[in-house]
Chains A and B, each alone.
Chain A
Amino acid sequence: MKTDLIDVIDSYAKTKPDDVVYHYNDQINTYLDLKHYSDALAKHLDEMRLPNNRPILVFGDKSFAMIATFLAVIKSGHSYIPVDVDSPDERLILINKIAQPVAVIAVDDLPVNLGEVPVISAPTLSDIFQQPVDYQVTHAVSDDQTFYIIFTSGTTGVPKGVEISYNNLLSFVTWIVGTDFNLPENLQMLQQPAYSFDLSVMSLYPTLFKGGTLHVLSKKMTDNFLVLFTALPTLSINVWVSTPSFINICLLEPSFNSTNYPQLKHFLFCGEELTTRTARMLKQKFPQAHIFNTYGPTESTVAITQVEITNEMINEFDRLPIGYIMPGMHARIIDDDGNPILDGSQGELQIFGTSVSHNGYINNPEKTKKVFSIIHGQNAYRTGDIAKIRQDGLIQYFGRRDFQVKMNGYRIELEDVAILVGKQKYVKQTAVVPKYNAQHQVSVLIAYIVPNENHFNSELELTAAIKRDLKESMMSYMIPQKIIYRKSLPLSKNGKIDIKSMINEANSQ
């Protein structure tokens, strides 16, 4: 029999209605709440008679209303685009313009007017959730229909929205709850990132599918470490999912160890490179725990490789391997012309199979064609990551072939940042480069800037003014920490700014 994700999640409203599905600050919601809320909103969406299987933009934070809204959108046969409350207005406007959603659901109040599109406001949404309805799921998203669309940064200052289908998601969820990870039956998972970040999917759907509980880190907790470390030990989390950057914060808290978290036996990391140092320090605090490194681009549904990190690996590798490819997926190494490299040397990682997006980037055929293709009848994606595949299938990662970087788990296109910095009124010309630390992580972004004439008395004042302006147009994690002023920038032979030479300069000690 075919397993249906939505049917399984809904079934818990009958078999264990009072079990907690969502724990957010002091608020607790059950599987019965989840069904009531999502049924009521699905019915409302059906009555709006929106065009079939088109996207709906969902704007909000990490409250229970968010995930109830996602499920409702799916039940009504549409895909959802999660946009986080902390997004700058310009990004929200751009995503709305690119994706052309048929409706917007404001779980939190919209900061700007989005024009013609119908909007369900936050107060209306609360009213809808409270309506008792009798709803039959008859036309939920299925098969190759788009389930969610997550926007990443693009290279031209324009974000790209990756379309992930129901089948993509189902193959991912089946893998996470399967034998590769051997997670406990009663899943109590940490939900750390915002829903606009696809790492959130790693906790969300496996937990709902198994009828477990999501323990959500709110902004209130992550903004104040005292609140965070008072709350964390009380949450009875048994599976940890986060970026390595977030566990680094926890490693700084002496009380974060297996004595105070006896039920915590599994750690899953994704979103950026797991360094040997982080793995080593975590092993010291949780000697018995299973620590998994995973890897995958948003374009192939969260993650597609896994490996359990052992003490031997920590000693053997300078950079930890990203692991073995999941069932249903295939990996190969190609050269610059796209031809397979078979001798085990390094090149670009290309992946194909059940997890790769079929439609690619929404309303962006040009960018889609560049990286998506079909191999042996299966969807394929060129990752842009430099890797090597060992004889036994173990994949090692060595960095990017372009100017994309990961910083604190966020995917950043340096060209994207440079374009946005270049648009500021005090900036004549700019190049943005990463500074790597000894663990191969990007520790700061440096913007080399040729400034326009200005009235500021010092570079410090100018920097403060530029950073203030940047907050209006880009996510805070994209803003370069360091600005270095120059009279001119070096050019390469073809007359473009020579970014490679500047990266070398920024990283020469």
Chain B
Amino acid sequence: MDDVKETVLSILKDLTGEDFSTKLDENLYDSALLDSMGTVQLLLDLQDKLGVEAPISEFNRSEWDTPAKIIAKVEATK
């Protein structure tokens, strides 16, 4: 379980340059830190590194907008 958390946090850090380990509930879209292309990169990383298939046509931003929600989503698909 901790592996997932660490991988997600390292993906977010690689993408944004930000360490979210103490800010798990920060909204990634409010500050426009993630835009639509950033979202694509994020999902691509999740698919490539964690095998998470998240069909982009069913993607609902509000379910993926904080690091904590992303971690929960990934764990749910395991």
**Among the listed A228, A251, A463, A467, which residue makes an inter-chain contact with B44, where contact means beta carbons less than 8 Å apart?**
A251
Give Cα A407 to B17, complex, Å.
16
Give Cα A463 to B38, complex, Å.
18
- A467 touching B37, Cβ below 8 Å: no
Main secondary structure of the interface of B (DSSP, over half): helix
Give Cα A446 to B15, complex, Å.
12
Given A225-B56, A225-B57, A460-B31: A482 and B16 interface contact (C-beta under 8 Å): yes
Given A252-B43, A252-B47: A506 and B17 interface contact (C-beta under 8 Å): yes
B75: interface (CB < 8 Å)? no
Which residues of B from 7 to 39 have beta carbons under 8 Å from A?
13-18, 30-35, 37-38
Give Cα A441 to B44, complex, Å.
13
Give Cα A213 to B40, complex, Å.
29
**Among the listed B13, B31, B43, B55, which residue makes an inter-chain contact with A509, where contact means beta carbons less than 8 Å apart?**
B13
Give Cα A228 to B36, complex, Å.
15
- A463 touching B31, Cβ below 8 Å: yes
- A481 touching B57, Cβ below 8 Å: no
Which chain A residues border B30 with CB–CB below 8 Å?
460
Which chain B residues border A229 with CB–CB below 8 Å?
56-57
Which residues of A from 183 to 226 have beta carbons under 8 Å from B?
225-226
Give Cα A437 to B11, complex, Å.
9
- A446 touching B17, Cβ below 8 Å: yes
Which residues of B from 47 to 65 have beta carbons under 8 Å from A?
47-48, 53-59
**Among the listed A252, A253, A438, A444, which residue makes an inter-chain contact with B33, where contact means beta carbons less than 8 Å apart?**
A444
Given A281-B48, A482-B33: A443 and B54 interface contact (C-beta under 8 Å): no
Which residues of A from 244 to 296 have beta carbons under 8 Å from B?
245, 248-249, 251-254, 277, 281
**Among the listed B38, B43, B47, which residue makes an inter-chain contact with A443, where contact means beta carbons less than 8 Å apart?**
B38
- B54 touching A252, Cβ below 8 Å: yes
When C-beta atoms are compared, the residue in chain B nearest to A508 turns out to be B17
Give Cα A281 to B32, complex, Å.
28
B66: interface (CB < 8 Å)? no
Give Cα A249 to B42, complex, Å.
11
- Give the size category of A's interface with B: 20 to 34
Given A248-B40, A408-B37, A444-B33: A254 and B53 interface contact (C-beta under 8 Å): yes
Which chain B residues border A230 with CB–CB below 8 Å?
57
Which chain B residues border A443 with CB–CB below 8 Å?
14-16, 38, 41
- A249 touching B40, Cβ below 8 Å: yes
Q: Kindly provide the distance from the CB of A186 to the nearest chain B CB, expressed in whole angstroms.
A: 29
A54: interface (CB < 8 Å)? no
Given A252-B56, A253-B55, A254-B55: A245 and B40 interface contact (C-beta under 8 Å): yes
Which chain A residues border B34 with CB–CB below 8 Å?
481
- A228 touching B57, Cβ below 8 Å: yes
Given A252-B56, A443-B14: A481 and B33 interface contact (C-beta under 8 Å): yes
Which chain B residues border A228 with CB–CB below 8 Å?
57
Which chain B residues border A253 with CB–CB below 8 Å?
55-57
Given A437-B15, A446-B17, A467-B32: A248 and B41 interface contact (C-beta under 8 Å): yes
**Among the listed B14, B37, B54, B57, which residue makes an inter-chain contact with A438, where contact means beta carbons less than 8 Å apart?**
B14
Give Cα A462 to B30, complex, Å.
13
Question: Can you spell out 14 A-B residue pairs with CB atoms less than 8 angstroms apart?
Answer: A228-B57, A248-B44, A249-B40, A251-B44, A252-B55, A253-B56, A253-B57, A277-B48, A443-B14, A443-B15, A444-B15, A460-B30, A481-B33, A509-B13
Top 6 closest A-B pairs, CB basis? Answer: A252-B56, A225-B57, A226-B57, A435-B17, A229-B57, A408-B37
